[in-house]
Amino acid sequence: MKQKIKNILKVFVFASIGIILFYLVYKDFDFNLIIKEISVLNWFWIILMLLIGLISHIARTIRWQMMLDDEKYKSRFSITFLAILNGYFANIAIPRLGEVTRCAIVSKYDKMSFSKVLGTMVSERVIDVVVLLLFTILAVSLQYPQLLSFVESTPGLAKNMKFLISPYFWIFLIFIFFAAILFFYFLIKGRFNRYSIALKVLKFFKGFWSGIISLKNLKRPIYYVFLSLFIWACYFLMMYVGFFAFPGLSHLSIEAALFLFVAGSFGMVAPAPNGMGAYHFMIIQSLTIYGIEYSSAASFAFIYHTIMTIELILLGLISFILLPLFKEKK
């Protein structure tokens, strides 16, 4: 009973965060523009975008199976695929709940150790973070002139950004860097074991490191890396293909799509249902860099995010219906 109350409270809190963020972003927006924008959408590109999203889920399933399968355990593609879809569906209700949900499904139906399944998921997430960082570096490198121009043309922002190029800021960063090294040295040596938060930090970084080195145990590590890059390339292509569905954005470059994809990915990290509010804010602000008006940027962010969310809900419901049809391994 207590767990049910806790889950209800979690849903309420995370939904509230999303609603508040969404309100702050759209409080001055005329939603009649959404209907107008939908009426001129090119649905061919929307359908193609959704198909690319489905392909990314299939690729993620294959990649996860590479981590799950060994001499003792063998996962079924159908169960792993439905578990991933169920996980996305659960994340819409409570952020990060989907990770535990999909691990529980695979563990139950394919009779695998839950701790082993959870460990593979952690490793998978570590690799995803690394790939996202690579895409971030690439996006900023390719769009640096546009970013610099935007900062210089925005007086208030330019004034605030001056600190970032001052020597004081870089001295501060160097100090933080060496302080972090010293902190982790003492953390590993067990100097902070009496503090529970320190143990949690140590556990997190041990998981992060084990996720990195687990690649050496894979039979085909190069293929695993390829799938990891392919999955995130699909996410990026969804954004680029999505541009062509909107007449007002079809002129934007592939580099712009890359930058928006990265910005949106960081927005999805927010503790709100499917990044609600935070994702919209990141996309709208990014589009202003390319001279897109607020109304057009807000319409795109709302429609694009809504379509993605509907796809995840529908796939999640289908997986929820189909899962009971599969028998558990004995």
> Tell me: the pLDDT tens digits for 245-255?
999 899 999 99
pLDDT level of residue 71 (50, 70, 90 thresholds): low
Query: How far is C-alpha 271 from the chain's CA centre?
Result: 11
3-class DSSP state of 39: helix
Q: Give domain status of residue 179, yes or no.
A: no
Instruction: Reply yes or no on whether the pLDDT at 313 is more than 80.
Output: yes
pLDDT at residue 161, as a whole number: 55
Beta carbons of 97 and 91 less than 8 angstroms apart: yes
pLDDT at residue 80, as a whole number: 93
Region of residue 270 (left: phi > 0; alpha: psi -120 to 50; beta: else) = beta
Instruction: Reply yes or no on whether the pLDDT at 9 is more than 70.
Output: no
User: Burial code of 25-44, b = ≥16 C-beta within 10 A, e = fewer?
Assistant: bbeebeeeebeebeeeeeee
> Residue 265 corresponds to which tokens in the numbers above?
């990915």
Q: Give domain status of residue 249, yes or no.
A: yes
pLDDT level of residue 143 (50, 70, 90 thresholds): confident
Average pLDDT for 215-230: 86
Q: Give domain status of residue 250, yes or no.
A: yes
Residues of the chain above pLDDT 70, percent: 82
User: Burial code of 69-96, b = ≥16 C-beta within 10 A, e = fewer?
Assistant: beeeeebbeebbbbbbbbbbbbbbbbbe
Q: Give domain status of residue 40, yes or no.
A: yes
Q: What integer best gives the mean pLDDT of the chain?
A: 82
Average pLDDT for 50-54: 95
Cα dihedral 324, 224, 206, 200 sign: negative
Amino acid in the structure at residue 144 = Y
Average pLDDT for 20-29: 77
pLDDT at residue 44, as a whole number: 95
Q: How many domains does the chain have?
A: 1
Q: Which residues contact 316 (CB under 8 A, 6 or more apart)?
A: 85, 86, 88, 89, 90, 92
pLDDT at residue 150, as a whole number: 64
pLDDT at residue 52, as a whole number: 96
Q: Give domain status of residue 211, yes or no.
A: no
Average pLDDT for 60-87: 87
Q: Give domain status of residue 241, yes or no.
A: yes
pLDDT at residue 249, as a whole number: 92
Rounded Cα–Cα distance for residues 173 and 178 (Å): 9
Q: Give domain status of residue 180, yes or no.
A: no
Instruction: Reply yes or no on whether the pLDDT at 21 is more than 60.
Output: yes
Long-range contacts of 101-106 (CB under 8 A, 24+ apart): 105/79, 105/323, 106/68, 106/75, 106/79, 106/80
Rounded Cα–Cα distance for residues 207 and 296 (Å): 42
Rounded Cα–Cα distance for residues 94 and 142 (Å): 35
Rounded Cα–Cα distance for residues 88 and 59 (Å): 15
pLDDT level of residue 157 (50, 70, 90 thresholds): low
pLDDT level of residue 3 (50, 70, 90 thresholds): low
Nearest to 90 by CA among 305, 319, 330: 319
Rounded Cα–Cα distance for residues 53 and 3 (Å): 33
Instruction: Reply yes or no on whether the pLDDT at 330 is more than 70.
Output: no
pLDDT at residue 5, as a whole number: 64
In the block, residue with structure tokens 């541009």: 243
Rounded Cα–Cα distance for residues 78 and 95 (Å): 24
Instruction: Reply yes or no on whether the pLDDT at 225 is more than 80.
Output: yes
Rounded Cα–Cα distance for residues 137 and 76 (Å): 36
pLDDT at residue 146, as a whole number: 74
Q: Which residue has the higher pLDDT, 69 or 148?
A: 69
Q: Which residue has the higher pLDDT, 107 or 232?
A: 232
Average pLDDT for 82-91: 89
Residue 247 structural domain: 2-156+219-325
